[in-house]
Chain A
Amino acid sequence: EDQVTQSPEALRLQEGESSSLNCSYTVSGLRGLFWYRQDPGKGPEFLFTLYSAGEEKEKERLKATLTKKESFLHITAPKPEDSATYLCAVPKTGGYNKLIFGAGTRLAVHP
């Protein structure tokens, strides 16, 4: 069964304390993985797409990496404004448009 699991569920960091969020997936023939950021009361905001194992993408303090079984979102020297829920999603097996979303990681960065 297609599944996306994110860990940890919640993460509390001090400002400047780097860490990583994990997204593991079980789908046949991965065709892409998407990372989103969601602020309270808002829709998810697209961050990255990764299409193949070994691929990396960066944006400011965020760096996403992909292996054959999981993806990591590395946050370097986070700031309070990085506090949000981070979601990952993959296309379902055989479904190019149907995404399965993980439950998300709630990140809180304290000054």
Chain B
Amino acid sequence: DVKVTQSSRYLVKRTGEKVFLECVQDMDHENMFWYRQDPGLGLRLIYFSYDVKMKEKGDIPEGYSVSREKKERFSLILESASTNQTSMYLCASSLGQLQPQHFGDGTRLSIL
């Protein structure tokens, strides 16, 4: 079974802080993704990576950056956290194009 592990289930940070969310997958998947999920807005793609050090913007990249130095690890960075970034963040990975994405259990992030 694919296992996608997100480093924290719950996180509370202050506005202006730099925040790091970490994600690790154990199935040698090529692609990794970061989403946020908000009530009424559903799942929205922030960034994805199709190879080490390769990344592509999703639908809502503003205020975020990502890092993928190793194949199994994909980090989401909030450069200067703001209250409108309070959300559930979900990481996913997939073997390749048009393959199912497998999700972690999410990090519920609160920015105060």
Contact = CB atoms under 8 A, between A and B. Distances in A.
Interface of A: 31-32, 34, 36, 41-46, 49, 51, 87, 89, 91, 96-99, 101-104
B77 interface: no
Query: In terms of DSSP, what is the predominant structure of the interface of chain A?
Result: loop
Query: In terms of DSSP, what is the predominant structure of the interface of chain B?
Result: strand
Interface residues of B, number: 25
Contact of B42 (A32, A34, A41, A103): A103
B11 to A, nearest CB: 14
Given A101-B42, A104-B42, A49 B106 contact: no
Contact of A91 (B40, B98, B103, B104): B98
Nearest to A91: B98
B111 interface: no
B101 interface: yes
